[in-house]
Amino acid sequence: MNPRKVLIVGGGSSGWITAAYLNAALNRNGRKVADICLVESPDVPTVGVGEATIPSIHHILSVVGIDLVEFMKATDATFKQSIKFTNWLKNEGEGYHHSFQRFRDAPIDNTGADWFSSDRSIPFMETVSIQPKLCDMNLAPVMMGRWDFGSPLKFAFHMDAIKFAHFLQKISTARGVSHLLDHVDDVVVGETGNIQSVKCRSGQVLEADLYIDCTGFAALLIEKAMGVGFVDVSQWLMCDQALTMKIPYEHHYPGHVKPYTTSTALSSGWIWDIGLQNRRAVGYVHASDFVSTDEAEKELRSYEGAHSEGLDTRLVKFKVGYRERAWVGNCVAIGLSAGFIEPLESTGLYLSDLAAVMLREYFPMTDDMSQLAYRYNRIIYNRFHEILDFINLHYCLTKRDDSAFWREVQRSERVTDRLKAKLEFWRHKGPTDTDFEDQHFPTTPASGAARPEGFSDVRQPIDTGNVFPASSYEAILFGMDFMGDQMAERLGASRHRTQVHPRVAGRLQAAPAKLPPHDVWLKQILQMPNYN
C-alpha cells in the first residue's frame, strides 16, 4: 500500500510537533505509512515568547526519541515543578502552588478531607507535596547523578518555543519529512467539500490525502477554505491580549532560576514569569476593556522593576475560543488555528501534543474520514471545555474587590454552567476521583453548547481527569480557600490543627542533601553561563 500523503501548512511549534510525532509514530520498523511534507511561509513570523509546558511533553519527546539533555540544551530549557499563584485571592501577598505531584495516603487517602476541616494554618499543597518547598528553595527535581531519592518527581519545562520548533525541524527533515519554504496563496476545495490542493506563490501546486492547518490565528485552511466557524468563550475568560517582555540575564540576573512558573494577579489580569537559561520571559495577560495598553505597560514595568526601563515590549492580541469542528473533510486544524485558551495552566503546547497523539491513533487509511473525524472532534471538544472550566475556576473564587476586573469575574454570568454544577457539588464533599466518572452532577445542564450544522453530538462535554484530575482541583479550590468561611462557621473552635503528613515532612527534610540548586544543575549539566 502506498503511503498516505500528509501536507502540514504552517510551521512553528504546532506544525513541527505534528510532523515529528507523526513521522516517528507512523513511519517505523521499516514501514512508511505517511509521506509527510510541511510548507511554511518565509514571510510569516513565528509567535514565540517563552513557553511553559506540563508533564505530557515527555510523551512527545520519548516517541520522537529525544534525549532530555540534548533537548534542554537546544531550547534553553529549565525545569518546571509547579505554578505559584500570587495575589489571586485577596491581593495581600498571599500565594499557593499547583505542583505536579502530591503524596497520597494508603489505603484510603483522607488528606484532602482532613485539610478541608482543619484550621488551614498551612497551605494545602505543602501538607501533601514536597514540591512547593522545593520550589521555594529553588531546588531541581533531578539529581546530579543516578536517582536514589524514592519515587521520581514529576516535572515539565520552560523553554524557547521558537528554538523548540527549529530543533524538531532539524530532527524531522533528517528523518524524511519534506520541508518547503513557500507562501500558500490559495486553497482549492473540490465538489465533495474536501481540499484538493494548495497553490503556492512560487507556482507550485501541492496535493495530499490529509491536510493539517497549523497557520495559527490566520486559520487559512480550516476557516478561510473550509468555512468552519469559531466559538467565542470570552464571556467566561475576558482577557484578550498579552503584553510581553524579555529580560536577558546580561541585562539583569536575579541570582537564581526558579524551577516553577509564577502567575501574579494584577489589576486586570495576571503576569506569567518564567526563567530560561539565558533570560526571563514575562507577559501581562489582561482584558483590554478594563485597562489601556499604556496602563498595562506601566503595571508590567512596575512588576519587573527599574531595570525594565529601555526593554522593549510586544503586544499580542488573541481570541479565546475554539473551532466548531477541528476536523472536517480531509482537513485537521492543530494549534492556534483550532483554538486558543489563555495559558494560565500552560496548556498551549499540550493541546498541540494531544492533537498529534490523537491523529496518530485516528490516522485515516482511506478517503472516508467521517467516523474518525466525529470521534476526534468529540474528544477535542471535551478537552477544551475541561481546560476552560479549570481556568475559569481560578477567577471565580477570588475575593478581590480592588478593581472593576476582579469584581466582574466573580459575577454568576462569568462562570460556566458546568463549573457552577461542580462547585455546588463540592460544597458537600471535596473533589475525588469518582467525580470524573461521567461528570454529571445534580445541577449540570442537560446538553452542551450549540453544535454546527452537520455535527449531531449535542451532549454535554465530559471531563476525563486526564489533564486536571481531582488533585488539581483540590490544589486550586483549597489554594483559594474554598468554603473557608463556611467551614469556620460550621466547626468553629473544633477545627483541628493543620498537619504536614510525616512522610512528606521526612522527605522534605532529606531533600537539600539530595537535590542540587536548580541553577547549579543547569550550569554543570547544560553548561548554562555563570551570570553572577
In the chain, the percentage of residues whose pLDDT exceeds 70 is 97
Q: Are strands 4-9 and 261-266 parallel, antiparallel or unpaired?
A: unpaired
Q: Is the pLDDT of residue 299 over 90?
A: yes
pLDDT at 449: 58
Expressed as residue numbers, the domain containing 201 is 4-77+159-231+320-382
Confidence of residue 444 (pLDDT cuts 50, 70, 90): confident
Q: Does residue 450 surpass a pLDDT of 90?
A: no
Cα–Cα distances in angstroms (integers) from residue 190 to residues 197, 325, 330, in the given order: 9, 19, 11
In a domain, 19, yes or no: yes
Catalytic residues: 80
pLDDT surpassing 90 at residue 259: yes
Residue 205 lies in a domain: yes
Look at residue 453 in the predicted model and tell me its pLDDT: 53
Gap between the Cα atoms of 210 and 404, Å rounded = 47
Q: Which of 7, 27, 25, 26 is nearest to 194 (CA)?
A: 7
How confident is the model at residue 448, as a pLDDT? Answer: 63
Residues 43-70 have a mean pLDDT of 87
Please report the pLDDT score of residue 464 as a whole number. Answer: 85
Give a yes or no: residue 223 inside a domain.
Answer: yes
- Average pLDDT, integer, range 312-329: 95
pLDDT of res. 447:
67
Alpha-carbon separation of residue 150 from 58, 260, 311, 367, 419 (angstroms): 20, 21, 44, 50, 37
Q: pLDDT tens for residues 404-437?
A: 999 999 999 999 999 999 999 999 998 999 998 8
What is the C-alpha radius of gyration for the chain, rounded to an integer number of angstroms? Answer: 24
pLDDT in the model for residue 333: 98
Name the domain count of the chain.
1
Average pLDDT, integer, range 461-470: 88
Kind and range of the H or E run holding 22: helix 12-26
- Residue 456 is predicted with a pLDDT of 64
Distance in Å from the first CA to the final CA of the chain? 59
**pLDDT mean across residues, the chain:** 94
pTM for the model: 0.95
Length of the chain: 532
The grid coordinates of residue 444 equal 449540570
Residue 319: pLDDT over 80: yes
Which range, of 103-117, 254-268, 499-513, averages the lowest pLDDT?
103-117
Average pLDDT over residues 52-65: 96
> Is the model's pLDDT at 47 over the cut of 80?
no
Whether residue 253 lies inside any domain: the answer is no
How far CA 222 is from CA of 105, 113, 485, in Å, comes to 47, 46, 48
Q: What is the pLDDT of residue 100?
A: 96
Q: Are 409 and 398 in contact (CB under 8 A)?
A: yes
Whole-number pLDDT of residue 451: 57
Q: Is residue 249 predicted with pLDDT exceeding 60?
A: yes
pLDDT at 446: 75
Q: Does some domain include residue 486?
A: no
Rounded mean pLDDT, 506-517: 97
Does the pLDDT at position 440 exceed 90? no
pLDDT at 502 over 60: yes
Peptide linkage before 502 cis (omega within 30 of 0): no
Is residue 274 over pLDDT 60? yes
Q: Which segment of 14-18, 278-282, 333-337, 464-468 scores lowest on mean pLDDT? A: 464-468
- Residue 114: inside a domain: no
Establish if 174 belongs to a structural domain.
yes
Residue 29 lies in a domain: yes
Indicate which CATH number applies to the domain containing 329. 3.50.50.60
pLDDT at site 164: 97
Enclosing H/E stretch for 248: strand 241-248
Compute CA 194 distance to the chain's CA centroid, rounded to the nearest angstrom.
31
**Could you give the angle at which helices 57-64 and 348-361 cross, rounded to 10 degrees?**
50
Please say if the pLDDT value at position 19 is more than 80. yes
Residue-wise pLDDT for 374-402, tens only, equals 999 999 999 999 999 999 999 999 999 99
Question: What's the rounded mean pLDDT across residues 182-198?
Answer: 96
User: What does the pLDDT look like over 331-358, one tens digit per residue?
Assistant: 999 999 999 999 999 999 999 999 999 9
